[in-house]
Amino acid sequence: MGGKGRIKRAVRHAVHLCGGVDGAAATAERGRSVAGDWNNLNHAAFPPADCALALDEIAVAAGQLPPITSALARELGGVFVPNIDVLADEGSIAGMVMGLSKELGDVAGSISAALADGKVSPLEADAALGELHDMTRKAAQLCAALESIRGDS
């Protein structure tokens, strides 16, 4: 089933988050049988873009990543990254996530530049490790903030 199977499972998850086939049909403003076909692993039907976005909106409203959009991004070799509040205070959770995202981009950029000639030199490895350590520090800060909210010490 491959990529189509992963996307179909994501559609099924989105249908589930809508409360099942009836909820998905109402959300997408389509008939129950159409939504049922989307939910059926053995049926070739997929929701069109407008319907997929409507189904994914339910997941986002519930605080989850949009399953269909995330699966499509994976099939294209990427990831779905939710929009981060750029006006957030640096010490807030949103600000820490934004900082961590920036550091991940720095790591990816450093590694990409190092691999441009097909090999990573010791100097390039050192630079990439520096970026990775910065990212690790940001991740640790975010972990500590989330653990304090959860109540861990």
**Does residue 86 belong to any structural domain of this protein?**
no
**Does residue 71 belong to any structural domain of this protein?**
yes
User: pLDDT tens digits for 110-123?
Assistant: 899 899 999 999 99
Q: Domain total for the chain?
A: 2
Residues 53 and 100 in one domain: no
Predicted confidence at residue 137, as pLDDT, reads 87
Residues 47 and 98 in one domain: no
Residues 11 and 59 in one domain: yes
SS3 of 82-121: the string is: CCCCCCCCCCCHHHHHHHHHHHHHHHHHHHHHHHHHCCCC
Structural domain of residue 68, as residue ranges?
Answer: 2-75
Whether 24 shows a pLDDT value over 70: the answer reads yes
**Does residue 22 belong to any structural domain of this protein?**
yes
Residues 69 and 22 in one domain: yes
Predicted confidence at residue 74, as pLDDT, reads 86
User: pLDDT tens digits for 28-54?
Assistant: 999 999 999 999 989 999 999 999 999
Q: Residue 143: which H helix or E strand, with range?
A: helix 122-150
User: pLDDT tens digits for 78-100?
Assistant: 877 776 565 667 778 888 888 88
